[in-house]
Chains A and B, each alone.
Chain A
Amino acid sequence: MSDAPPTGLKSWLTTTDHKRIGLLYFWTALGFFLVGGLEALVIRLQLAQPNGHMVSAETYNQLFTMHGTTMVFLALMPLAASFFNYIVPLQIGARDVAFPRLNAFSYWVFLLGGLFLNASWLVGPLFHAGMLNVAPDGGWFGYANLTERQFSPGPNIDFWVLGLQILGISSLAAGFNFIVTILNLRAPGMKMMRLPAFTWMTLVTQFIIITAFPVITVALVFLLFDRFFGTHFYLPQAGGTPLLWQHLFWLFGHPEVYILILPAMGIVSDVLPTFARKPLFGYTVVVYSGILIGFMGWGVWSHHMFAVGLGPIADSVFAATTMLIAVPTGVKIFNWVATLWGGDIHGTTALHFAVGFIAMFIIGGLSGVSHASPPADLQQTDTYYVVAHIHYVLFGGTVAGLFAGVYYWWPKMTGRLLSETLGKWHFWLQFVGMNLAFFPMHFIGLLGMPRRIYTYSPDLGVSDLNLVSTVGAFLIAVSILVFLYNLWRTRRHGQRASNDPWGGATLEWSIPSPPPVYNFSVIPTVTNRLPRWRTELHGPMQDPPAMPPAPIHVPGGSWWPMVAALGLPVMALAPLTHTPWVAFVGVALLLFGIYRWAFEPFEV
């Protein structure tokens, strides 16, 4: 039994504790979130005025490509993963995830993949590029055939293809891990329909990840082979078609949208009941609509391709499936409002963000309906109208949901409460900032400004609107600074958290904050969906004792996940630098790591 967690750098590098890995995910993803945010600020500075020339066209194209790629793959997904890691095992009453070392492997692959991608900002001279930055510049969607060697000869797209390939492995490994964890490591009595909503949405998300990522893997393999081995998957002159990329990419890309939004929906579904002091309204419906969204997300990909001209029948079908997906989404929103209705609403920062999520997500959802309609979409797609839409969904929605999670679970993760005063400042600055930044984009788009342009003509009449948007972006930046200050201040001065500072219904609040390494001194037996609450049917559960009555085995750390993870970026260096033998070093590292990992004594 070891109550005191080990300390020191080595203990972090070799950790297999889901809580520590959760924190590693959080800090790493926060770092990338800041990088992606800085990229956004430079973009907004460039567009603050027409004919802007703060950065060159080449650099601008790298900035928006990396902003999108970073926010999707290096910030939002891993921020959600930080909660999957930290919170899900606690919510299901488990001591760790099913495969703790695979979990560490996922983290290291994510970190190394993120560093690999971002190294492209600084290594231009190594490729004789004539500029410092050779970051990917084909858009986060990397449309072929622009991303083929013929039109993108530099290392930029190589970084992107290889980096995403690495990151995909991280997501897939984590996906298998969390599916097994949630299905298999539930405490006695924790039936599937007693799982907290966040855990449910995590499960749905993982199923989407393990089915959607193989598709992008294949798409990227084709592009990789086209770029390095002379295949013609996306080359029209050889009979291929660049549209194959679009189909494969969006077959992944639309489910990816749900990978980004469902965890935030799960967080909101947990936060609202806690602070309304009322169970989640229509739990079953919320869960099933989440599952339904996960399924339907597979049948809508071509709505990203209406301008391609797939023909009126395909357009009609995909318009219909896309509109249908608004139904389960709307149902969720109504259930959230009904959860608040009749409650005793405590206006904490977490609740502010959760309500902000609903308010903003509605706007993103409704503009989404307008481009679910192909003829309307033909005027909207690839304009700032769509930029407004995705930011209402992913910033107003996902980011707000994730912040709700941060304020809600931070005391559990660190033992200290974030300042509520600073939290409110953060919320209102971010709320005003995002509406200033993104609402004008609806008009900018409708007035005819395409996206992904590094400069625009003053004749378009959108200069002032763009300036407003830039001011909004900086207001968001200020709100994030307030948040960072709040994190920093809380380290020393934050109020200490009890087991349960909010009066939560779920199992994570039954144990100390932060939890001991073994989480639960005694694995609880669950008898209902709101174990820690008194309802008309049952009283609250008894929390596990402070001291474990019997010794608990806690697995030690391992170096091998990190060694194996290191093999992947090394393998990627081979094509990037055109030195095949490096691939063997990478494979050797990977195999060595896996073999040591497989045969080291490690009992979970």
Chain B
Amino acid sequence: MPRIRLWLLAAALAVSGCSGPFPQSTLHPRSDFARATDVLFTEIFWWAAAVFVVVELLLVVAIVRFRHRAGRPAPKPMHGHTLMEIAWTLAPAVILVFVAVPTVRTIFATAGDAPPDALKVEVIGHQWWWEYRYPDLGITTANEMHVPVDQSVQVAITSADVIHSFWAPALGGKRDAIPGKTTFIAFRADSVGDYSGQCAEFCGASHANMRLRVMVESGVGFEAWVAQQKDGAAAPPKASLAEQGKAIYARSACIGCHAIQGVSPGVIGPNLTHVGSRSTIAGGIFPNDSAHLARWIADAPSLKPGSMMTRMQPPLSDADIAALVAYLAILK
């Protein structure tokens, strides 16, 4: 059945000239949580489609068959019909039972409880980026979450400022990040891949620029990533541009907000200890390459409205920025 629905969707998209891939689609579930909601939605979809066809058909038949024609006798004044009223009260009620039962079952199945051995990840929403902490592994990173395939993950979500909503559609439904409250989801990814998502609750100027990725990796790949993240910050080679960059970093305003293990303890912005290992910057909106990084350091607010990372005063020279970029790039 889902295949037919996908086919319908594909047909609709073909008409409009679209083609995949759809990295943020809710119709391509890759976890138990997302599959459960998808199965439920498919069920509801077919009930809705059936009701749609029946009722619209009745409506169209009525207006075509009973349209005014010269000489048609005056209609009989029909005020109502008790049996019919009862019938069309019961019919939707019965259909809704068929929707409600799997709904309640799925609600409890996806309530966010994971087995005790699940990998724990804390998600903290910030205007406008995501912070991830792995309390049992001692890792702090931003925007890109790494999880192992075929293992339960317990995600605890909260916010440092306003309300956000954590959403990676392939892995499951969204859950709000609410200041002063912790909410939970749990999922078990079943396919290795790089899944995109973004903040789903309007959270101010750059709500559109608060994107995220979840990297589902093989067990080995995940272990390697953990090992890399647990390492201290990489040291730049002697007399390199990166070493100059480190010096500039250490004496500039960067340290007020950012943390690099052993260099600066800032907690306002993303932790940069392993920033070079991430594929995107600025809340997932730009690729992590030297050109974007340089523009970002020079003038973040012009790239991301409302960005808390203000323009450096006095501005950094191009040479300084190049050195900083070189330093950040080696922080794998």
Partners in one complex: yes
Chain A residues at the B interface, C-beta cutoff of 8 Å: 56-58, 61, 138-139, 143, 145-146, 151-152, 236-237, 241-243, 276-279, 281-285, 307-309, 311-312, 315-316, 319-320, 323-324, 326-327, 330-331, 333-335, 337-338, 340-347, 355, 358-359, 362-363, 366-367, 369-370, 372-383, 440, 443, 446-457, 459-465, 468, 533, 535-536
| B residues near A277, Cβ cutoff 8 Å | 74-75
Is B233's CB within 8 Å of the partner chain A?
no
Stretch of B108-116, B137-145, B247-255 lying at the A interface: B108-116
Q: Which residues of B contact A (CB under 8 A)?
A: 9, 12-13, 16-27, 34, 36-38, 40-41, 44-45, 47-48, 51-52, 55-56, 58-59, 62-63, 66-68, 72, 74-81, 84-85, 88-89, 91-93, 96, 99-100, 103-104, 106-108, 110-112, 127, 161-163, 165, 167, 169, 172-176, 178-181, 183-184, 196-209, 211, 285, 305-306
B183 touching A308 by the CB < 8 A rule?
yes
Known A-B contacts A139-B202, A243-B178, A308-B183; the reply to A448 vs B169 at CB < 8 A is yes
| Alpha-carbon separation in the docked complex, A536 to B38 (Å) | 54
Closest to A383 in B: B200
Which B residues are CB-close (under 8 A) to A241?
A: 178, 180-181
> Cβ of B202 and Cβ of A143 under 8 Å apart?
yes
User: In the complex, which residue of chain B has the Cβ closest to the Cβ of A362?
Assistant: B55
Contact A345 B66 (CB under 8 A): yes
Taking a contact as CB atoms under 8 Å apart, the answer to whether B175 and A146 are in contact is no
Cβ-closest chain B residue relative to A325: B96
B269 to chain A, nearest CB (A): 17
Among the listed A309, A312, A362, A369, which residue makes an inter-chain contact with B108, where contact means beta carbons less than 8 Å apart?
Answer: A312
Q: Which residue of B lies closest to A138 (CB)?
A: B202
Judging by beta carbons under 8 Å apart, are B78 and A278 in contact? Answer: yes
Residues of A within 8 A of B108 (CB): 312, 316
Given contacts A151-B162, A282-B81, A379-B173, 10 further A-B contacts (CB under 8 A): A57-B305, A146-B163, A278-B77, A309-B112, A320-B100, A366-B48, A375-B173, A376-B41, A443-B9, A446-B26
Q: Using known A-B contacts A278-B77, A309-B175, A370-B41, determine if residue A151 contacts B96 with beta carbons closer than 8 Å.
A: no
B164: shortest Cβ distance to chain A, in Å? 10
Task: Report the bound CA distance from A237 to B160 in whole Å.
Answer: 11
Choose from A236, A378, A465, A533 the contact partner of B18 (Cβ within 8 Å): A465
Instruction: Name the contact of A464 in the complex, choosing from B18, B36, B38 (C-beta under 8 A).
Output: B18
* Contact A363/B52 with A309-B176, A345-B67, A376-B41 known, Cβ cut-off 8 Å: yes
Residue of B nearest to A324 (CB): B96
Nearest CB on B from A328, distance (A):
8
In the complex the two chains form, is A450's CB within 8 Å of B103's CB?
Answer: no
Contact B201 A342 (CB under 8 A): no
Taking the closest CB of chain A, its distance from the CB of B69, in whole angstroms, is 8
**A341 to B65 alpha-carbon distance, docked (Å):** 8
Task: Determine the chain A residues whose CB is within 8 A of the CB of B24 once the complex forms.
Answer: 447-449, 460
> Cα distance A237–B179 when bound, in Å?
8
Q: Complex Cα distance A323/B27, Å?
A: 23
Sample 10 A-B pairs with CB under 8 A, ordered by A number.
Answer: A58-B305, A146-B202, A236-B178, A241-B181, A277-B74, A316-B108, A330-B88, A378-B37, A452-B207, A461-B21
Question: CB < 8 Å: which of B16, B92, B99 contacts A330?
Answer: B92
A337 touches B59 (CB 8 A): yes
Chain A residues, Cβ within 8 Å of B47: 369
| B111 engages A312 (CB within 8 Å) | yes
**In the assembled complex, which residues on chain A have CB atoms less than 8 Å from the CB atom of B180?**
236-237, 241-242
Residues of A within 8 A of B12 (CB): 443
Q: Nearest chain-A residue to B60 (Cβ)?
A: A359
Given known pairs A379-B173, A461-B21, A464-B16, the reply for A345 and B44 (CB within 8 Å) is: no
A456 and B45 alpha carbons, distance in the complex (Å): 27
Contact of B63 among A237, A315, A355 (CB under 8 A): A355
Residues on A with beta carbons closer than 8 Å to the beta carbon of B62:
337, 340-341, 343, 345
Chain A residue nearest to B306 (CB atoms) is A57
Which of chain A's residues have a CB closer than 8 A to the CB of B92? 326-327, 330-331
Tell me if B208 and A57 are in contact (CB < 8 A).
yes
Please pick, from A237, A340, A373, the residue contacting B103 in the complex, using a CB distance under 8 A: A373
A375 near B37 with CB under 8 A, answer yes
Question: Do A461 and B19 contact each other (CB < 8 Å), given the known contacts A315-B107, A343-B66?
Answer: yes
Q: Which residue of A lies closest to B285 (CB)?
A: A457
Which residues of chain B are within 8 angstroms of A330 by Cβ–Cβ distance?
A: 88-89, 91-92
Q: How far is the CA of A337 from the CA of B20 in the complex (A)?
A: 40
9 tightest Cβ-Cβ pairs between the two chains A and B: A378-B173, A448-B24, A236-B180, A453-B208, A309-B183, A57-B305, A334-B88, A366-B48, A330-B92
In the complex, the chain B residue whose C-beta lies closest to that of A346 is B68
Q: Are B74 and A375 in contact (CB under 8 A)?
A: no
From A276, A323, A363, A460, B100 is in contact (CB under 8 Å) with A323
| B176 pairs with A308, CB closer than 8 A | yes
Given A307-B175, A316-B104, A324-B96, are A359 and B163 also a contact pair (CB < 8 Å)? no
Q: Which residues of B contact A380 (CB under 8 A)?
A: 26
Q: Is B22 touching A461 in the complex (CB atoms < 8 A)?
A: yes
Partner of B26, one of A145, A236, A379, A453: A379
Do A337 and B58 form a contact, CB below 8 Å, given A281-B79, A379-B26, A381-B200? yes
B178→A366 contact, CB < 8 A: no
| Distance of A369 Cα from B26 Cα, bound (Å) | 17
In the complex, what distance in Å separates the CA atom of A334 from the CA atom of B56?
11
- What distance in Å separates the Cβ of B188 from its nearest Cβ neighbour in chain A? 16
Nearest-CB distance from A343 to chain B (Å)?
Answer: 5
Chain A residues within 8 Å of B18, by CB: 461-465
Chain A residues with CB under 8 Å of B22's CB are 447-448, 460-462
CB atoms of B58 and A535 under 8 A apart: no
- Which of A311, A346, A373, A378 lies in contact with B172, CB distance below 8 A? A378
Q: Which residues of A contact B77 (CB under 8 A)?
A: 278-279, 533, 535-536
Asked whether, in the complex, the Cβ of B16 is within 8 Å of the Cβ of A366, the reply is no
Task: Report Cα–Cα, A138/B203, bound state, in Å.
Answer: 8
Q: Across the interface, do B44 and A369 meet the contact criterion of CB distance under 8 Å?
A: yes
Residues of B within 8 A of A151 (CB): 127, 161-162, 204
Residues of A within 8 A of B162 (CB): 143, 145-146, 151, 242
Pick from A324, A363, A443 the residue with the most CB of B within 10 Å: A443
For the complex, give the distance between the alpha carbons of A340 and B66 in Å.
7
**CB-CB nearest in chain A for B9:** A443
**In whole angstroms, how far apart are the Cα atoms of A337 and B174 in the complex?**
38
A445 → chain B closest CB, angstroms: 8
Measured CB to CB, the closest approach of chain B to A306, in angstroms, equals 9
Instruction: Determine whether the beta carbon of B203 is less than 8 Å from that of A146.
Output: yes
Query: Which residues of B sit under 8 angstroms from A533, Cβ to Cβ?
Result: 77
Report which of B36, B52, B178 forms a contact with A308, defined as CB distance below 8 A.
Answer: B178
A55 to B115, CA, bound (A): 47
Neighbouring A residues of B93 by C-beta, 8 Å: 327
What residues of B have a CB within 8 angstroms of the CB of A461 in the complex? 18-23, 25
Residues on B with C-beta less than 8 A from A370 are 41, 44-45, 48
Give the nearest-CB partner of B305 in chain A. Answer: A57
Residue among A370, A447, A449, A464 with max Cβ neighbours from chain B (10 Å): A447
Q: Are B205 and A376 in contact (CB under 8 A)?
A: no
A340-B75 contact in complex given A375-B110, A440-B16, A454-B208, C-beta closer than 8 Å? no
